[in-house]
Amino acid sequence: MEFRKIQFTGRSSYIISLPKKWVRENSLSQGDVVPLSINPDGSITIFPKEPREVSERKILTISHEYSPDMAVRLAISAYIQGYDILEVNFSEEMPIYKVKVRKVLQSLPGVEIILDEPQRIVAKSLLDEDEINLSELLGRIRSLVMSMLGDLELLIASPDDEEILRDINDLENELDRFYFLTIRAVNRLLSRRSITEESGIIRRTFDLLGILFIVRNIERIGDHITRISENPSGINVPYLKEKFGEMMSQIEERDLGKIDKLMLELKAEIRSIDYRQSIALESYRRILEYLENIGETIINMALS
């Protein structure tokens, strides 16, 4: 690390000299303009030239070496890694593979299929990455889980209601979509030279990693709500709704005292559950444990 003295020049300007070696290595000279970015932690990043936004393309070649499920996973992976254009080439006509890949591409937020041939699909992301706000995404995810828990409460009262069960499954699919979109947004932010995010919940790079852990645990909570819905029984859904809402609020508040109290309450509730009584109680316990995981992540974000 080098240290440079801040100097005052003119009537209102402060300047700092740049290392000669860095200037020469980047082919800069007197009079050149260099962009800089003010980071959430107060540091400043100086770039040797204007970063270029490149539309990245990923080409996947699918053969019978892979299963249809693997083909789907590869398409999702390319999406969450931030590729703007995905080209899927099939080694031969593979109808089952193609149907599954097309279906998952159509389900991914912001993705449009622009070419569909017998042995090739090309999809493009139409998302404006600069318009994606992580706080808004987390708000939507919170709303989806709350809706699933509301439906679960109704289903426990009316266990034979097929319409409610279908709605829970639809909400879980929507939760998966926003889970993938959040991972994509975080990955794009991590790939930039500087971290800027207007929602205010991202203050340091570590916060982005924290968001990844949080949404992964929420996605698993959605899976267990769906599991409970298949075997509904006496689950304390109002308690789940209350504690989930409180924990989600702490992503922005980061009040260590409140988190401490909440974590102790969750721990006591987990200890009181005889999870061997039913599949539903086992999933109930797992949901509470995932909330604990989220709490631990928020604590780490608060201290980062």
pLDDT tens, residue by residue, 92-118: 999 999 999 999 999 999 999 999 999
Q: Where do the structural domains in the chain lie, given as residue ranges?
A: 7-46, 57-125, 132-303
**CB-based contact 173:286 (threshold 8 Å):** no
How far is Cα 281 from Cα 298, in angstroms, rounded to an integer?
A: 26
| Range scoring the smallest mean pLDDT among 75-79, 145-149, 188-192, 282-286 | 188-192
Taking 90 as the threshold, does the pLDDT of residue 63 lie above it? Answer: yes
What is the tens place of the pLDDT at every residue in 24-50? 877 788 777 777 766 655 667 777 765
Specify the DSSP element, H or E, that contains 46.
Answer: strand 44-46
Q: Mean per-residue pLDDT for 151-177?
A: 93
In percent, the amount of the chain with pLDDT more than 70 equals: 90
CB atoms within 10 A of CB 115: 10
Taking 50 as the threshold, does the pLDDT of residue 297 lie above it? Answer: yes
pLDDT at 198: 52
Q: Mean per-residue pLDDT for 44-57?
A: 65
What's the whole-model pTM score? 0.79
Phi and psi, residue 59, nearest 5°? -110, 125
Kindly list the distances between the CA atom of residue 196 and the CA atoms of 45, 127, 205, in Å, as whole numbers in the listed order. 12, 18, 9
The angle subtended at Cα 210 by Cα 182 and Cα 130, nearest 5°, is 40
- CATH T-level assignment (fold) for domain 57-125: Ribosomal Protein S8; Chain: A, domain 1 (3.30.1370)
**Class of 132-303 per CATH?**
mainly alpha
Extract the tokens encoding 214: 């949080």
In percent, the amount of the chain with pLDDT more than 90 equals: 62
CB atoms within 10 A of CB 159: 13
How far is Cα 295 from Cα 256, in angstroms, rounded to an integer?
A: 10
Q: Cα 162 to chain center, whole Å?
A: 31
What is the tens place of the pLDDT at every residue in 232-254? 877 899 999 999 999 999 999 99
